[in-house]
Amino acid sequence: MARRRKSRASGISEISFSWRGLETIIRLFVAYVLLGLLFLLNLTALPIPHAGVIKPDFVLMAVYYWAIFRPRLIPTWLCFGAGILLDVLSLTPPGLQAFILVLAQSLVRDQRKFLMAQPYISLWAIFGFVAMMAAGIQWGLFGLVNDMQWPAIMPVAIRVLVTLCLFPVVTMALIGTHRFLSPAQNSYP
């Protein structure tokens, strides 16, 4: 009875809670739209010379950032799915980018408390290391299934460098989205 009375008494607060819920959904929607855009930017044809080689790994940037600050925003299955889609749409062996993204997310998430305490410049430098490792593993695994023939390492290195250089630009958008997200959003346990 007491419970029922309590629930009746909090009717208005329940309505306000639902509005807050709607607000959270809208805020989350903005975050996922940005994620979707970064995913599509990784795939779409950019009309700039050598776009393929210099196109940065936007998805890795988002996975890295959210693994530190909002790990629940990109669940592992979404990370896996995005990787598989990137693979099948760009003719790379399915599972290659999915493995890299899941691995990067898992490792960064494990160290998130340490990373959250770091200044931005350190986060940037650590991202450089993550991007380099991701590209290196990708390069190694790709050669294994490509008749033991590995592609030239220089374009891979250039891509890592461009990804690293554009990291602040993308993180500006991610930080903006982060601020826009309500603090009520679940944080990682």
Total residues interacting with other proteins, rule: CB under 8 A: 55
Task: Please give the angle made by the CA atoms of 119, 170 and 74, to the nearest 5 degrees.
Answer: 85
Answer yes or no: are the C-beta atoms of 95 and 137 closer than 8 Å: no
Nearest to 82 by CA among 41, 142, 39: 39
55 binds other proteins (CB under 8 A): yes
How far is Cα 60 from Cα 39, in angstroms, rounded to an integer?
A: 9
Nearer to other proteins, 89 or 172 (CB): 89
- Stretch of 7-15, 17-25, 136-144, 171-179 lying at the interface with other proteins (CB under 8 A): 136-144
Of these, 125, 144, 165, 169, which contacts other proteins (CB under 8 A)? 144
Of these, 16, 44, 122, 182, which contacts other proteins (CB under 8 A)? 44
Nearest to 55 by CA among 90, 96, 98: 90
Answer yes or no: are the C-beta atoms of 82 and 59 closer than 8 Å: yes
What residues line the site for other proteins (CB under 8 A)? 37, 40-41, 43-53, 55, 71, 76-77, 79-80, 83-85, 88-96, 98-99, 102-103, 105-106, 109-110, 138-139, 141-142, 144-146, 149, 151-152, 155-156, 158-159, 188
